[in-house]
């Protein structure tokens, strides 16, 4: 019954009860699903991001003159519940497309649902390569740079390090496993001389950091790849700092530069890690400035990476709908394939070959500034530059 | 060598907080027999309040004072919960308190986000324990050393408390034999309240002490609660020393296990628990429970088959359900299918739990195995849907046959924990064996064939199967086998003395329940078109328990109503609000207090009262004979 | 002409716990239709001895034979199948089931229908269950929930359950414990009459000497795990060793002086 699930545009008052039926027949509805109750740290900024996008779109006249309405559902972090939500959005809300999801398995579940029910799905966050490759399908597109792309960006920097003995620490589930696998593969191609001396697989969300840090230290690596995030990362960093694990060792870390994960570390942020992330404070482009200004004006808070993802997801959805001029899924697919559009990170394109967007990420180093963790020396890496050749992608994707 | 010493010490430090929380749970369970699902929630609140206090209060005194104050504050919350909520339901059927504490946990998870916000909070380091100490080139955090000392100190204090005070003697006596303490005229109310307060204090202290090493966040409770139960069971229920040894054992096995099998943490505690329970069913330091003199809360209202009128009513309800596709949309039908599937799941657990007296905490394993069975058959063997539906549940059947054999050797909470361990083992196989199961990315594309693909057809299929399953299980309740099963539940001694091999009866029931759950899982796979490890997960097992308890564990078919109410409400709430856990938790707690016998149990009681209140026409009616019809 | 083996033959039964002999070399026998009482002061080993007869407990050495067949160490349920019914000192019944259902469970077990999944249990041997309940005087209580019964009625129900497999031998552990004096006599009279009519051997332990001396055909006396006397009530009563044991225990008992003994 919470009204904020049903954002109905700037000019539109939020109705009591918040029922989506308040949307008029000529409105265009987008169904949005995410793990709001399970992962509020990430999904709150994400929600703010897409709400801002809806407001902007409707203020600019909507989609081909029709008001855009986003109907949002919580999946509680469960694939089965995400499908129930998807079903509700499609069958009873009559949405034109599905968007959202954070966890990889939920992304895949909704993607499979979309394929079965012939509904357009724009995956926002899930990182697994399977979404666009091994389990890719005609109806599914993805915004965020995939695991592979982020790994490729990090490898580019990591390969330049002199370190030869590497250890890995990753959460024990598909995301962690595939991040490590891709990183190892790409790294070994560039640097056949390196050795993998240890790997640690703490269960996601349940790291027993002390023993893990000790075990990695015992293998005496010269460099460490970290894939843990969230509360696990906090524990790992604290134990690692106290036990001197990171002293004299290079660390390459997925996602750690995102404010969601970097900010909680505060003055304990380790310095000099090579990370992917979002240094919103140091991006000086007109596109980003505009977004930052609008976001701060509306929420009086700084954006997280989730804000960008949420914002751009709805912007992309609107662009696809506008170009298609229809809510027919086949027309939406035709419109989305090869579609280019602006984003706070610069222009992006949804590739025809695998439906992956070319949204990139920032790679930089962590540093401490005024008792807070920041990313320095960061540079934007365009997604298009970190994808395998078309021939390889062809092989990865099932024929449909 | 120095490395192994340091790794050992690190293990000891991890054991300390585990021990604190586990000892609290152990004391509470030992005395009140409450399976306190909210123990993790108290741990989490302890961490949150300690975070706030240590941020506000400055200096070393502020930090340590904040930690202790937080634990005391949470203990007071615990007292409130005990007096307002739990006290009302001590006489409810066994495990009903689990439902109440589960509701509380749901609420707390949403409340902390509302109060403290969604971000992970990282608190202060402990003053004086910020650095590390060099040990032959290895660093040991000084806070770890503090925890290593704290564990045995708390153990010592608790030991003194239990050995040297009258309160402690009473607690020990109550742990050994509750009825005896009641008979001695001890004021049980205050004994229970004080025990609950001490237990919660320890949990909150354990949480508060995590501040310097962990991030405080809203999922901390789930991270610890299951592990703590496992530690308590390995150590032996009610044994503080056992909890300590088990915490050390688990932590050390983990510290050294990851050196050889880096992926072992995910499953380790459950493997240890399964082995311990099979070899030493009472845990390392536990003692066999004194047999209960009276089975608390068991109904004295015997079960009977439905009367003619009731049959007609059930039939009418079924007919109405079957006409749903005539007026409801696709979404409602899909939700209807899901509810029907959960009815199957709930009645299968109900059969084991109510009829057999065996409360499984890992029933989702067989549901999930049925789902995976279908997925394997459909995706790998490419078999037609109808064949998959018939054969898929056999995987659940086989799982139940293997695990059930070991599980039925135990009873009560030990049975529950062994089933939990098995379920977690199955879950981790599904999670880890990526090449076969797809890991947590699951198996996709298990969609129904054309004849069942439309929502209305699938709904009729699910409804039909649910009806058949419910009727079949009900018939079994009133079959000779059902009588024998109920007999094993009521008195093992007597069943053995009249030639019944109770373990074989219970094993058979376990296999029947597992297979039935597998049928539900098989349908679920087709409903969702995919299978994921969380189809076998703890939260699904808990859902099943909640559905049975909500319906009424003492009823013949209460689980049907429990499943419908819980599932429908859950789906609706998740769709309507992000705070579904808060509302659902509140609703469950309300039900627990208002309907301490479950929804159907309460209705039956009201009906019975009305019958009793009717004027005594014949001398036969004057006697409390309810079962005659 | 060979002599038929006795119904129950116990030979050299011994059991010790951690070096303490609970039962030492106990031997006795029991004929069909005979009522034999096993008495002795607290801690004499009565219960241990009793539990070893139907497999509840395993003897260290010694033999228990039923009609010449070795049953030592068999499980209770196997012993029951051979025709040995048993009641417990603290009644063991199925509290959530009705009185009739309690008997029906035993009949189902006797009829080897335990794994019959789809038959109708309420109709199973309903008549036989009713007859058994009538026999023990519980006919009017058939539909009462067992959990509501008075203690004496539970004892009678246990007797009906124990009779369900048409036993050759009944083992009754303190059948009248916790009952009012009047009820005790009634129950033992009932038992005795059933036993004689159906030629069932009955072995019972008992603290109440009224019950013992009035109903037992023979009495065996156990003290500190050893059999110290055996004989008719009159013989045992006059046995100086028995008197010494009871005197030594401070439990002087003389039925003749006890009030109400004349009932």
pLDDT digits (tens, 9 = 90+) for B568-605: 999 999 888 888 889 989 988 888 888 878 888 888 88
pLDDT at B345: 97
Residue in chain B lying closest to C94 (CA): B490
CA distance B227 to chain A (A): 10
Q: Would the pLDDT of B177 be above 80?
A: no
- Residue partners of A68: CB distance under 8 A and separation at least 6: A9, A27, A28, A30, A54, A57, A58, A62, A314, A318, A321
Q: Which of chain C's residues have a Cβ under 8 Å away from the Cβ of B356? A: none
Q: How many CB atoms lie within 10 A of CB B568?
A: 15
CA distance C246 to chain B (A): 30
User: Which backbone phi and psi does C78 adopt, to 5 degrees?
Assistant: -75, -40
Q: Which of chain A's residues have a Cβ under 8 Å away from the Cβ of B431? A: 173
Q: Which residue has the higher pLDDT, C121 or B58?
A: C121
Q: What strands lie across the sheet with C226-231, from one edge to the other?
A: C84-87, C169-173, C201-205, C35-39, C218-223, C226-231
| Averaged pLDDT for residues B350-376 | 94
pLDDT per 10-residue tile (average), chain A, 400 residues: 36 35 70 92 94 96 94 92 93 94 93 95 94 94 95 96 96 89 95 94 90 93 95 94 93 95 93 96 95 96 96 97 94 96 96 95 95 95 94 86
pLDDT at B612: 67
In C57-161, beta strands by DSSP E: 61-66, 69-70, 84-87
* B298 closest CA partner among B17, B629, B555, B2: B555
CA distance B364 to chain A (A): 14
A92 touches B: beta carbon within 8 Å: yes
Chains C and A lie in contact, requiring 3 or more CB pairs less than 8 Å apart: no
pLDDT at B305: 84
pLDDT at B179: 67
Beta strand pairing call for C8-17 and C20-30 = antiparallel
8 Å CB contact between B240 and B162: yes
Across the interface, do A243 and B141 touch by the CB < 8 Å criterion?
yes
Tokens linked to C201? 């051997």
Across the interface, do C77 and B484 touch by the CB < 8 Å criterion?
no
Q: pLDDT tens-digit profile of A118-131? A: 999 999 999 999 99
Across the interface, do B494 and C104 touch by the CB < 8 Å criterion?
no
Residue in chain C lying closest to B478 (CA): C121
pLDDT at B290: 54
8 Å CB contact between A112 and A104: no
Q: Which of chain B's residues have a Cβ under 8 Å away from the Cβ of C88? A: 493-494, 497
8 Å CB contact between B74 and B45: yes
8 Å CB contact between C191 and C174: no
* B40 closest CA partner among B16, B29, B24: B24
Q: Residue C108: which of B475, B480, B501 has the nearest Cβ? A: B480
CA distance A341 to chain B (A): 31
Q: Which residue has the higher pLDDT, B88 or B248?
A: B248
Share of chain B above pLDDT 90, in %: 55
pLDDT at C248: 57
CA distance B551 to chain A (A): 23
8 Å CB contact between B51 and B224: no
What distance in Å separates the CA atoms of residue C188 and residue C175, rounded to the nearest whole number? 8
8 Å CB contact between A340 and A349: yes
Across the interface, do B574 and A74 touch by the CB < 8 Å criterion?
yes
Q: pLDDT tens-digit profile of B419-472? A: 999 999 999 899 888 888 988 889 999 999 999 989 999 999 999 999 999 999
Across the interface, do B298 and C77 touch by the CB < 8 Å criterion?
no
Q: Would the pLDDT of B567 be above 80?
A: yes
Q: Would the pLDDT of B143 be above 80?
A: yes
Q: Would the pLDDT of B368 be above 90?
A: yes
pLDDT at B576: 87
Give, for B612, the enclosing helix (H) or strand (E): helix B598-613
Q: Would the pLDDT of B71 be above 90?
A: yes
Residue in chain B lying closest to C54 (CA): B497
B337 touches C: beta carbon within 8 Å: no
Q: Give B555-598 as a 3 state SS string.
A: CCCHHHHHHHHHHHHHHHHHHHCCCHHHHHHHHHHHHHHHCCCH
pLDDT at A6: 37
In terms of DSSP H, where are the helices of B351-491?
A: 364-379, 385-391, 393-407, 412-432, 434-437, 450-453, 455-477, 480-490
CA distance B181 to chain C (A): 20
A80 touches B: beta carbon within 8 Å: yes
pLDDT at C27: 92
8 Å CB contact between A101 and A33: yes
Stretches where chain C sits below pLDDT 70 are 1-3, 247-263
Q: How many CB atoms lie within 10 A of CB B294?
A: 9
Q: pLDDT tens-digit profile of B267-294? A: 888 889 889 988 988 889 887 765 544 4
Q: Residue B486: which of C96, C115, C147 has the nearest Cβ? A: C96
Does pTM top 0.95 for this prediction?
no
| Averaged pLDDT for residues B526-552 | 91
Q: Would the pLDDT of B328 be above 50?
A: yes
Q: pLDDT tens-digit profile of A362-389? A: 999 999 999 999 999 999 999 999 999 9
Q: Residue C121: which of B472, B483, B624 has the nearest Cβ? A: B483
User: What is the average pLDDT value for chain B, to the nearest integer?
Assistant: 88
Q: Which of chain C's residues have a Cβ under 8 Å away from the Cβ of B512? A: 117
CA distance B534 to chain A (A): 7
Across the interface, do C109 and B500 touch by the CB < 8 Å criterion?
yes
Query: DSSP secondary-structure letter at C141?
Result: G
The number of residues in chain A equals 400
Q: Residue B494: which of C75, C94, C120 has the nearest Cβ? A: C94
Q: Residue B479: which of C97, C106, C119 has the nearest Cβ? A: C119
Instruction: List residues of chain C with CB under 8 Å from any CB of chain B.
Output: 54, 75-78, 80-81, 86, 88, 90, 92-98, 101, 104-106, 108-110, 113-122, 124, 143-145, 147-148, 161, 164-165
Q: How far is CA A219 from CA A169, A225, B5, in A?
A: 12, 14, 16
Residue B555's pLDDT band (boundaries 50, 70, 90)?
confident
B627 touches C: beta carbon within 8 Å: yes
CA distance B10 to chain A (A): 6
What is the secondary structure of B286-310 as a DSSP string?
Answer: --PPPPPSS-TT--SS---PPPHHH
What distance in Å separates the CA atoms of residue A62 and residue A10, rounded to the nearest whole number? 11
């Amino acid at each position: 019954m919470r009204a904020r699930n049903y954002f109905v545009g700037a000019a539109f008052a939020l109705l009591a009860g918040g029922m989506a039926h308040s949307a008029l027949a000529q409105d265009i509805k987008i169904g949005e699903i995410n793990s709001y109750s399970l992962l509020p740290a990430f999904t709150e900024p994400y929600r703010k991001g897409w709400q801002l996008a809806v407001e902007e779109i409707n203020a600019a006249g909507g989609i081909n003159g029709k008001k855009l309405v986003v109907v949002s559902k919580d999946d509680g972090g469960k694939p089965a519940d995400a499908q129930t939500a998807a079903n509700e959005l499609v069958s009873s809300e009559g949405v034109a497309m599905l968007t959202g999801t954070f966890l990889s398995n939920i992304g895949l579940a909704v993607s499979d649902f979309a394929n079965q029910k012939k509904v357009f799905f724009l995956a926002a966050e899930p990182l697994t390569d399977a979404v666009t490759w091994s389990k890719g399908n005609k109806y599914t597109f993805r915004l965020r740079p995939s695991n592979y792309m982020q790994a490729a960006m990090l490898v580019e920097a990591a390969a330049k390090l002199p370190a030869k003995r590497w250890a890995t620490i990753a959460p024990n589930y598909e995301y962690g496993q595939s991040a490590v696998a891709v990183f190892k593969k790409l790294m070994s191609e560039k640097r056949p001389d390196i050795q993998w001396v240890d790997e640690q697989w703490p269960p996601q969300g349940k790291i027993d950091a002390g023993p893990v840090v000790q075990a990695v230290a015992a293998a005496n690596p010269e460099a460490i790849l970290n894939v843990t995030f969230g509360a696990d990362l906090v524990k790992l960093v604290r134990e690692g700092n106290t036990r001197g694990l990171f002293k004299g060792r290079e660390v390459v870390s997925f996602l750690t530069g995102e404010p969601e994960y970097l900010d909680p570390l505060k003055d304990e942020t380790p310095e000099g890690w090579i990370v992917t992330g979002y240094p919103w404070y140091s991006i000086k482009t007109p596109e980003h400035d505009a977004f930052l200004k609008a976001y701060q004006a509306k929420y009086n808070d700084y954006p997280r990476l989730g804000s960008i993802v949420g914002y751009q997801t709805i912007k992309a959805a609107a662009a696809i709908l506008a170009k298609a001029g229809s809510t027919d899924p086949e027309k939406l697919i035709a419109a989305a394939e090869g579609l280019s559009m602006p984003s706070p990170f610069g222009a992006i394109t949804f590739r025809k070959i695998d439906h992956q967007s070319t949204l990139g990420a920032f790679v930089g180093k962590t540093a401490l500034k005024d008792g807070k963790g920041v990313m320095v020396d960061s540079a934007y890496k365009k997604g298009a530059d970190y994808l395998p050749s078309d021939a390889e992608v062809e092989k990865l994707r099932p024929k449909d | 060598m120095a490395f192994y010493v340091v790794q050992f010490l690190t293990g000891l430090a991890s054991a300390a907080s585990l021990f604190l929380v586990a000892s609290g749970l152990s004391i509470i369970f030992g005395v009140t027999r409450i399976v306190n699902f909210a123990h993790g929630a108290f741990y989490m609140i302890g961490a949150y309040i300690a975070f706030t206090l240590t941020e506000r209060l400055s200096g070393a005194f502020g930090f340590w004072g904040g930690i202790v104050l937080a634990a005391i504050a949470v203990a007071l919350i615990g007292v409130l919960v005990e007096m307002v909520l739990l006290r009302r339901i001590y006489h409810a059927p066994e495990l009903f308190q689990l439902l109440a504490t589960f509701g509380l946990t749901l609420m707390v998870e949403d409340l902390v986000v509302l109060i403290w916000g969604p971000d992970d909070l990282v608190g202060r380091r402990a003053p004086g324990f910020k650095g590390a100490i060099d040990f032959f080139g290895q660093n040991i955090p000084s806070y770890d050393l503090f925890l290593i000392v704290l564990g045995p100190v708390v153990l010592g204090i608790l030991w003194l408390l239990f050995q040297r005070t009258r309160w402690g003697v009473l607690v020990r006596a109550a742990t050994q034999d509750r009825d005896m303490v009641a008979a001695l005229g001890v004021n049980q109310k205050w004994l229970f309240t004080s025990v609950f307060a001490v237990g919660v204090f320890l949990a909150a202290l354990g949480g508060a002490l995590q501040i310097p090493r962990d991030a405080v966040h809203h999922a901390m409770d789930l991270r610890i609660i299951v592990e703590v139960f496992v530690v308590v069971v390995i150590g032996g229920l009610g044994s503080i020393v056992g909890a300590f040894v088990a915490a050390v054992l688990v932590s050390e096995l983990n510290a050294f296990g990851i050196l050889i099998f880096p992926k072992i943490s995910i499953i380790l505690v459950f493997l240890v628990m399964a082995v311990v329970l099979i070899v030493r069913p009472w845990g390392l330091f536990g003692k066999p429970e004194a047999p209960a003199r009276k089975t608390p809360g068991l109904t004295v209202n015997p079960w009977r088959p439905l009367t003619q009128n009731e049959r007609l009513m059930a039939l009418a309800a079924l007919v109405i359900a079957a006409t749903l596709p005539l007026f409801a949309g696709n979404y409602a039908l899909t939700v209807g299918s899901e509810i029907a599937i959960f009815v199957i799941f709930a009645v299968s657990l109900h059969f084991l739990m109510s009829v057999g007296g065996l409360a499984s905490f890992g029933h989702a394993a067989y549901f999930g195995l049925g789902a995976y069975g279908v997925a394997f058959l459909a995706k790998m063997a490419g078999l037609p849907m109808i064949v998959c539906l018939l054969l898929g549940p056999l995987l659940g059947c086989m799982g139940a046959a293997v695990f059930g054999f070991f599980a039925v050797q135990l009873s009560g909470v030990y049975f529950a924990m062994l089933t939990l361990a098995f379920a977690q083992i199955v879950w981790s196989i599904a999670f880890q064996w990526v090449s076969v199961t797809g890991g947590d990315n699951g198996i996709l594309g298990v969609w129904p064939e054309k004849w069942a693909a439309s929502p209305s057809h699938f709904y009729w299929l699910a409804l039909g199967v649910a009806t058949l399953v419910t009727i079949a299980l009900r018939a079994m309740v009133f079959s000779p086998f059902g009588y024998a099963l109920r007999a094993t539940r009521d008195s093992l001694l007597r069943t053995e003395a009249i030639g019944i091999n109770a373990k074989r009866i219970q094993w058979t029931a376990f296999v029947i329940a597992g297979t039935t759950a597998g049928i539900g899982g098989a349908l679920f796979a087709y409903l969702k078109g995919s299978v994921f490890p969380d189809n076998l997960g703890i939260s699904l097992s808990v859902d099943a328990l909640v559905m049975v308890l909500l319906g009424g564990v003492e009823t013949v078919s209460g689980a049907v109503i429990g499943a419908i109410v819980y599932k429908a409400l859950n789906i609706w709430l998740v769709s309507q609000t992000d705070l579904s856990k808060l509302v659902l938790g509140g609703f469950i707690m309300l039900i627990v207090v208002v309907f301490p016998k479950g929804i159907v149990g309460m209705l039956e009681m009201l009906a019975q009262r009305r019958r009793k209140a009717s004027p005594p026409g014949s001398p036969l009616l004057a006697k409390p004979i309810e079962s005659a019809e | 002409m060979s002599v038929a083996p006795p119904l129950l033959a116990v030979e050299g039964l011994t059991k010790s716990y951690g070096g303490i002999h609970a039962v030492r070399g106990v031997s006795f026998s029991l004929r069909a239709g005979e009522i034999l009482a096993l008495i002795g002061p607290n801690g004499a080993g009565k219960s241990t001895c009793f539990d070893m007869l139907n497999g509840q407990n395993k003897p260290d050495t010694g033999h228990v034979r039923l009609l010449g067949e070795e049953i030592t160490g068999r499980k209770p349920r196997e012993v029951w199948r051979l025709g040995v019914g048993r009641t417990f000192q603290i009644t063991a019944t199925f509290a959530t089931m009705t009185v009739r259902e309690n008997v029906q469970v035993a009949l189902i077990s006797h009829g080897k229908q335990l794994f019959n999944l789809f038959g109708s249990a309420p109709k199973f041997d309903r008549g036989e269950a009713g007859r058994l309940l009538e026999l023990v005087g519980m006919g009017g209580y058939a539909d009462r929930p067992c959990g509501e019964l008075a203690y004496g009625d539970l004892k009678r129900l246990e007797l009906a359950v124990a009779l369900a497999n048409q036993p050759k031998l009944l083992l009754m552990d303190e059948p009248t414990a916790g009952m009012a004096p009047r009820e005790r006599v009634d129950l033992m009279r009932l038992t005795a009459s059933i036993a004689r009519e159906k030629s069932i051997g009955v072995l019972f332990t008992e603290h109440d000497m009224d019950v013992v001396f009035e109903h037992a055909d023979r009495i065996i006396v156990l003290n500190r795990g050893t059999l110290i006397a055996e004989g008719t009530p009159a013989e045992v009563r006059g046995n100086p060793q028995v008197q010494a044991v009871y005197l030594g225990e401070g439990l002087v008992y003389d039925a003749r002086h006890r009030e109400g003994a004349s009932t």
